[in-house]
Amino acid sequence: MSERQLSAINDARTARVALACLAEPGGLAVYDLVRKHGPVQALARILAGMATGELVESVRARLVGTTADRIVDAALARTRRVGARVVIPEDEEWPAQLADLRLISRLGGDRFSRDTYPPVCLWVRGDWPLAETLNRSVAVVGARASTSYGNHVGTELAYGLANRGWAVVSGGAFGIDAAAHRGALAAGGVTAAVLACGVDRPYPSAHAALFERLAEDGLLISEWPPGADPHRHRFLIRNRVIAALARGTIVVEANARSGARQTLGRAVLLGRAAMAIPGPVTSAMSVGCHEVIREGVRLVTSYQEVLEEVGLIGDDLAPRVRAPEREHDRLGPQLSRVLDAVPRRNGADAGQIAATAGLPLRDVLRAMPVLEELGQVASTEDGRYVAGRRKRSQGQETTPEAEPAPADEVGMAAADGAALSAADGAGSAGADEAGPAGADEAGPDGADEAGADGADEARPDEATPGGSGETGRGGGGAAAPEGAEAPAAGAAA
């Protein structure tokens, strides 16, 4: 590069744009140069060949037939044209939590030593300031070939989180990602899609309308300049940013080799909250979730439980799950004690009830009118009391209607069991889940997500995963198109 061209790039923002255009993000070589010399001098050293051989060779390959300043000029012009902005670490809105990415290689060993360092800059579409918006954020990720169960849970989780003022971060893909984005938008909240391509590239193309909605009401974020293609390896590089931006990561559905598990692994190494949603044990799309739960990841079933993991103490705690309240639960301790001593069959007089309850007779006599008024007991004409009975004349049968005979109980239980079995059978026949041979996962070579081989996403020219799209198996699920009625603000397990 000539001296004139070098002098054209003399500020941090332009130099960082050049570095992002010339080298794939996340690498140690660029990170070290910027840390030691600053972005301007780091760029100059790379262009002068004063860097690792691999980095210098890859940069030279991108400069064949052009120059660094031309590449930067084209990137900045396209940035302005698509209504995006470049955010750098020197900016006030830069998310400080991204600096934690430098810890991954130290904690994760050789397996995590590549492509895990902080971004040099970010391209952003959307008006929300990054640092402020993503300070309270949760990542919701999972399978692209999701089931209707997964879509429903993902949508309601995101809706509940957004309704409580939390931003929802995901990757913009089919399945769980789309369900999370739509759930947050339905709640009128903020959601950010972290992309593995340029912020002007709707990938998958079927999500073009969703991405425009995100640009208007949420955020589109990428380490790659506008126009960049979604190459397969970029999805794995992108996943570390999703994990770093959020306070916690939830995997809603994941098969055994899911790329969502990689995102969760990065969250663990970053010290973030790591959570997973359980699913049917027969579902291939829940195998990954069950495995990480066995490994120690927190099991959650609702957005309230998620907030208990990521929220501030005393600020976002989940209420305890309780059984439905009964009339008996609202009685004081003494009334409850008296009521427990009243038989449901044949009845008893006040003296017998007092003896059973271990209370003075006067206390029982004071309690009985109150319990009668509440409908908890009924008196017979011979002065006896029966729990759950209406008043009847003396000599009539006193077996309470609320307590059927044992034979009736057996019959009712059998009927209930038959109904439950029929419902379960219908659910299984509905094929919400694909078995191991059902190929619920999509992808060019049969892999829905990436494991160690990087198969996280489809090729750029891949069609919508068969039968799932954004709405899950059979078109079910709660991930409705934009503008659909908002779901209830609670997550279903």
Give the predicted TM-score (pTM) of the model.
Answer: 0.66
Average pLDDT over residues 388-402: 44
Q: DSSP character for 463? A: P
| pLDDT at residue 100, as a whole number | 94
At 447, the pLDDT band (50, 70, 90 cuts) reads very low
Query: ω before 400 within 30° of 0 (cis)?
Result: no
CATH number for domain 99-310, candidates 3.90.700.10, 3.40.50.450, 3.40.50.300, 3.40.50.1100: 3.40.50.450
At 324, the pLDDT band (50, 70, 90 cuts) reads low
Q: Which of 75-84, 299-308, 338-347, 393-402 has the lowest mean pLDDT?
A: 393-402
Query: ω before 204 within 30° of 0 (cis)?
Result: yes
At 317, the pLDDT band (50, 70, 90 cuts) reads low
Residue 168 phi/psi, 5-degree rounding, is: -110, 125
With a CB cutoff of 8 Å and minimum separation 6, the contacts of 204 are: 173, 174, 458, 462, 464
| pLDDT at residue 442, as a whole number | 38
* CA distance from start to end of the chain: 58
| pLDDT at residue 316, as a whole number | 55
Residue 235, pLDDT > 60, answer yes
Residue 390 phi/psi, 5-degree rounding, is: -85, 160
Contact (Cβ atoms closer than 8 angstroms) between residue 398 and residue 109:
no
Structure tokens, 473:
């198996």
Cα 144 to Cα 38: distance, rounded to the nearest angstrom:
39
Q: DSSP character for 451? A: S
Q: DSSP character for 480? A: P
Cα 288 to Cα 259: distance, rounded to the nearest angstrom:
10
All structural domains of the chain with their residue ranges: 3-78, 99-310
Average pLDDT, whole number, for the chain?
A: 79
Task: Work out the angle at residue 272's Cα, subtended by the Cα atoms of residues 19 and 211, and round it to the nearest 5 degrees.
Answer: 55
| pLDDT at residue 196, as a whole number | 97
> Tens digit of pLDDT for each residue in 21-64?
999 999 999 999 999 999 999 999 999 999 988 999 999 999 99
Residue 85 phi/psi, 5-degree rounding, is: -140, 155
Q: Which of 54-63, 115-124, 223-232, 418-427 has the lowest mean pLDDT?
A: 418-427
> Tens digit of pLDDT for each residue in 262-301?
999 999 999 999 999 999 999 999 999 999 999 999 999 9
Cα 357 to Cα 354: distance, rounded to the nearest angstrom:
5
> Tens digit of pLDDT for each residue in 343-364?
988 889 999 999 988 889 988 9
Cα 278 to Cα 123: distance, rounded to the nearest angstrom:
35
At 469, the pLDDT band (50, 70, 90 cuts) reads very low
